[in-house]
Each structure stands twice: as structure tokens, then as C-alpha cells.
Structure 1
Amino acid sequence: MLKIEDLTVSYDGKTLAIDNINTEIKQGEFVGIIGSSGSGKSTLLKSINLLVKPLSGKVYIDDVDITKLNNSQLRNIRRQIGFVFQDYNLIEKSTVIDNVLIGRLGYKSSLKSFFGLFNDEDYESASNALKQVGLSKKMFERAEELSGGQKQRVAIAKTLCQEPKIILADEPVSSLDIATSQSIMDYFKVINDEKNITIMINLHDVNLAKKYCHRIIALKNGKILYDGEVGDLRDELLKELYSQE
């Protein structure tokens, strides 16, 4: 359902953040992306939904090259692509339910989006999403009143409310303690298992990637060093991956 061909990204037109990457992701895969800081992990995810525009290459979603789409067509495609950020990306002063409803904006006209007009179906979808992450009782609390783990669960619920085919998660547990990190990863696993939603997740913790992911993509200096099953990932490759050379 996702195919990347010869993807190259540069922020300054000279240094390559992503260097000629090729890979394919099937529907329902749980893919962990690992590598040291600056390896290109975040850039890769942001390129998939064109939050970052590639210098060259193609990104196919269900056989459609989204790099060729106009803004209206891209908006429709982005409904299928949820994004969970490291810093939660919530409106702190708004209630939990209002934050989750943002996931429905891609289905609204520009006018309705501007005024935040949601119907009963939208509220039911948001309520169900919060139930899936165990936050129904927090629905009317403000986001700023929540713990870090709860905020990330709200962010996941917002993405679920979007009804995506794929969720891109950029270091979603890096600022959380070990127990909370595992709890968040458990939610991603349930979403993947029960809804067959494709998960692509950037992780600093290789052990978390090994525990939860079906497949690992390892990046170094913007290139793929490894792309395969978790069981085939060797210690020698990890040493090379995180070496400073």
C-alpha cells in the first residue's frame, strides 16, 4: 500500500537528509525505523505524507504517486495517513474531545473546518477513539491537565478518529518513562492487530523495536542500512548503525 522510489530529500539543496531510498510497505505491517539522531528517520516519515517535499523520487499510496497531486487531491490522500508527533501536537487549552475531533477536519469543507462544525457521527467517532485508548473519562478535561502518556494517547485517538490506513509515529515515546512507553506501544500493537492499520514508527530504543515490530528499517546518513525481519537483525549491524564513523 506504500511504495517509495528513489526518494531523496535535502533541506539546503546540498546536504542529503534522505539519499535515494527505495522500499515497499504492505498493508498491516508494523515497521520500526531505527538509527542515530540525524540519520533521516523523521525526514523519511514526513516525506511520506509530504510534510517535507522531496528533492526527487516518488511516493506511492495505493499505486498513486502523491508527489504529483495538487493540494486538493493531496488533502484527500492525507485522510488515509495519520501522524503522531513526539510532542503530542495538541491544543493544550482545549478539551480532550475537541482535540480528537481535529482528526475529522479532513472530511469537512473549508468553511466547516474553519468554524469547527461537527455532527453526531463525528462526536461518536471521537468518543469511540477515546474509548480505544482508555480515556473516555478524560473526555472533557483540558489537554494541559493530562500526563505525558495521556497526552500521547489523545494524539493516537485523534489519529484513529481520522480513520487512516497508515499511522506514521515520529518518536512517540522518546520523552516518556519505560513503563509509559511500553503502554503506548501496547496501544499501537492493538491498533495494528485489530484494525490492520499499517504502523511506521521511529524509535530510539532498539529493544522496543525488536519487541513490537514485525520489520525493521535501519537508517544511517540518510541511507537504508538494513530492511528486513526483526529476527535477522544482528548485533554486528547494530554496532555499525550506531558507530560515529
Structure 2
Amino acid sequence: MLKFENTRVSYDGKALALDDINLVVEQGEFVGIIGSSGSGKSTLLKTINLLVRPSSGKIYFDGKDITKLNNKELRSLRRNIGFVFQDYNLVDRSLVLDNVLIGRLGYKSSFKSFFGIFTDEEYESATTALKQVGLGEKIFERADQLSGGQKQRVAIAKTLCQRPKIILADEPVASLDISTSQTVMDYFKKVNEKKNMTILINLHDVNLAKKYCHRIVALRKGKIIFDGKAGDLSDEILKTIYD
């Protein structure tokens, strides 16, 4: 489904944020990406929807080299890639329902996007997505009235409403307490298992990665230094990752 082939990223033409990445992710995998700050975790995710473009190498999505896409093809690609951010990326003054409907804008004309014109089916899809993350009763509340954990679940619902093939999550629980983090991770796990949704998630907390993810990829200075089952991530390997 997703393949990195000798992918490199440099922001200044000198230092490599990603250094010769070779990685294959299959449909339905739940992959945790770990590593210290500056290891390349966020850059790795952002190359998948070309928020960051590789300096060299290739990235394949559903068998197509996405590094060669034109603007129209890139817009189509991004419909299939959901992105959940650490800071929720919601419009605080808008209703929860309206925030979730933003996930459908990639399918709209400029006219319909500007005036917020959605079909009954899309309203139903947004409502269903909110119920799936346990927020059916919050539909008509403003986003700024929610807790941090609830906001992140709205962000997940927005991504579900988009109906992507893959979800990327960049440190989505970094600003949440332990209990709330586990609640949010439970919903990611549910989405993965119930919908066979491919998920790549950057995590600062190694224990969360080992608990929820089937597979863990560890980065250090832009290189992959571990790629395997969560149960194979030993203390000795962790010392190598974080030393």
C-alpha cells in the first residue's frame, strides 16, 4: 500500500532529516513511529502526503509514485490520506459537527466549499463518525467548549468523515494526560480493527506504542534503526534509539 524507496529529505541542502528510508506498510497495519525529538518522525509522515517533498528517492501509494504528481493528482491523493495533528487543527468557534464536515471539503468545488454546502448523506456521515468516537451528544456544541481529549476525538471523527485509505497521526496524545491519552488511543485501535484502517502514528510515549501498535519503526538521526513487532523492542534496543 505504502512504500518508501531510498527516500531522503534535506531542508537546507546539507543535513538529512530523512536518510535513505526504505519502508513498506501494508493495508490494515497499525504502525507506531518512535524516536527522540529531531529524529525525523514528523518529516516521515509529512512526506506521505507531500507536505514535505523528498529531496531524492521515491514514495509509492497504491503502487503509484506520488513524488511525480501534478497539483490535480495531489489533491486527489490527499483525499485518501487523513492527518491528525497534535494541536487538533479544529475551528474553535465552529460547532463540532461543522468541524467534522471539514473532512469532506476535499471532494467539494470551490463554490460549495466556500458556502459550506453539504449533502444529507455527508451530514449523516459526520454524525455517524462522531458517534463512533463516543461524541454523539456533542454534535451541536462549539469546539472550544470541549476538553483536549474530546477535541482530539473530533479530529479523528473529521478524518473518518473524509473516508481515507490511511490515517497519519503526528503526536496526537502528546499534550494529553495518561488517562485521556489511553482513551484516544483506544479509538485509534478501534478504527484500525473495525475498519481495517492503516494507521501510522508518531508517539513520544514508548509504552503506548508497545501497548497499541502491531509494529514499531524507530528513527534516529533520520535513519530507521528498528523495524519490527512491538514485543521485540527490548530495553537494549531502546537505549540505542534514545542514547
TM (norm. structure 1) is 0.98
Moved over 2 A (4+): none
Q: How many residues align?
A: 243
Aligned to 1:122: 122
Match of 2:65 in 1: 65
**Structure 1 CA distance for aligned equivalents of residues 91 and 132 of structure 2:** 21
| CA displacement, residues 32-62 of structure 1 (integer Å, 9 cap, x when unaligned) | 0000011000010011110111111111110
Moved more, 114-123 or 197-206: 114-123
1:149-228 to 2 correspondences below 5 Å: 149-228=149-228
For the residues of structure 2 that align with 1:167 and 1:200, how far apart are their CA atoms?
A: 6
Letter of the structure 2 residue corresponding to residue 88 of structure 1:
Y
Instruction: Name 1:85's counterpart in structure 2.
Output: 85
Distance 1:58 1:127 in 2: 38
Whole-Å separation in 2 of the counterparts to 1:127 and 1:207: 33
Query: For residue 22 of structure 1, what is the amino acid of its counterpart?
Result: N
Q: Give the whole-Å Cα distance in 1 for the aligned partners of 2:141 and 2:205.
A: 31
- Structure 2 residue aligned with 1:135: 135
Inter-partner Cα distance in structure 1 for 2:72 and 2:117: 20
Q: Give, in angstroms, the shift of residue 232 of structure 1.
A: 1.5
Cα distance in structure 2, aligned partners of 1:116 and 1:65? 33
1:85-125 Cα distance to aligned partner (Å, 9 max, x none) = 00000011111000000000111122222222111111011
Gaps of 5+ in 1: none
Q: How far apart, in 2, do the equivalents of 1:108 and 1:121 lie?
A: 14
Deviation of the 1:77 alpha carbon:
1.2
* CA displacement at 1:155 relative to structure 2: 0.3
Distance in 1 separating the partners of 2:221 and 2:110: 40
Distance 1:59 1:203 in 2: 22
Secondary structure class of the residue paired with 1:7: strand
Residue identity in the other structure for 1:15: A
CA RMSD of aligned residues (A): 0.7
Q: Distance in 2 between matches of 1:141 and 1:194?
A: 27
* Residue 165 of structure 1, CA deviation: 1.0
Cα distance between partner residues in 1 of 2:198 and 2:74: 19
The SS at the match of 1:16 is coil
CA–CA separation in structure 1 for the residues paired with 2:205 and 2:22: 24
Aligned to 2:8: 8
2:236 matched to 1:230? no
> What residue identity is the alignment partner of 1:26?
E
Alpha-carbon distance in structure 2 between the residues aligned to 1:56 and 1:108: 33
